[in-house]
Amino acid sequence: MATVTAKPGCNEPAAIDEAVVWQWLDEVKDPEVPVVSVVELGIVRGVTVDKSGSVTVDVTPTYSGCPATLIIEQLIAAAIDSRGHRVNINRVISPPWTTEWISSSGREKLNDYGIAPPDKEGEGKASLLGIDPNLSCPRCESTNTERISEFGSTACKALHRCKDCLEPFEYFKCI
């Protein structure tokens, strides 16, 4: 758990409600996929504001070995601290994060960015059995695609190629 306190000499922060904090957090971008916020990615699980204006944010990493977890927590803390509020980051590992938690706007942004989002129910279970999902190319929308590598630029993405437009693209794997 990380704690960031208001800077010395600062006046007492104004009262805020959880909805305002959620808006602030929606401005915090994922460092590995900067077109989606940590809220759209679904890793912010909860926000609590106490009577003193101190904020607790529950964050679930995308997976236990995600190298961006610490920086994401620091970005979240900075977003709240910069507005004069104390913040506690509570890392929540149960239940584990799943790609089902990605918002519909997050899925659209991933696709527009060139990363095929996990958008079909049950894809995760099929991939556990070695069955590749039927992906649409984010560039030309063809479903004539193939997996090139199980891993892309990060462990949570796989590298695919469209057989029609011949462009490579990443797929955000179902977890």
- Closest Cα to residue 34, out of 81, 89, 75? 75
Which pLDDT tens digit goes with each residue over 17-47? 899 999 999 999 999 999 999 999 999 999 9
pLDDT tier for residue 2 given thresholds of 50, 70 and 90 = very low
Residue-averaged pLDDT of the chain: 86
Written as six digits, the tokens of 175 are 């977890």
What is the total residue count of the chain?
Answer: 175
2-91 under CATH 3.30.365.10, yes or no: no
pLDDT tier for residue 77 given thresholds of 50, 70 and 90 = very high
Q: For the chain, first and last CA: distance in Å?
A: 24
- Alpha carbon of 63 to those of 97, 141, 154, 170, 172: distances in Å? 7, 29, 12, 18, 13
Instruction: Kindly report, as residue ranges, where domains of CATH 3.30.300.130 are found in the chain.
Output: 2-91
Is the pLDDT at 163 greater than 80? The verdict is yes
Rounded Cα distance, 143 and 136, in Å: 4
Which pLDDT tens digit goes with each residue over 88-134? 999 999 999 988 899 999 999 999 999 998 865 555 555 555 666 77
Provide the total of helices (H) and of strands (E) in the chain, helices listed first. Answer: 4, 8
Using an 8 Å Cβ cutoff, are 136 and 124 in contact?
A: no
pLDDT tier for residue 174 given thresholds of 50, 70 and 90 = confident
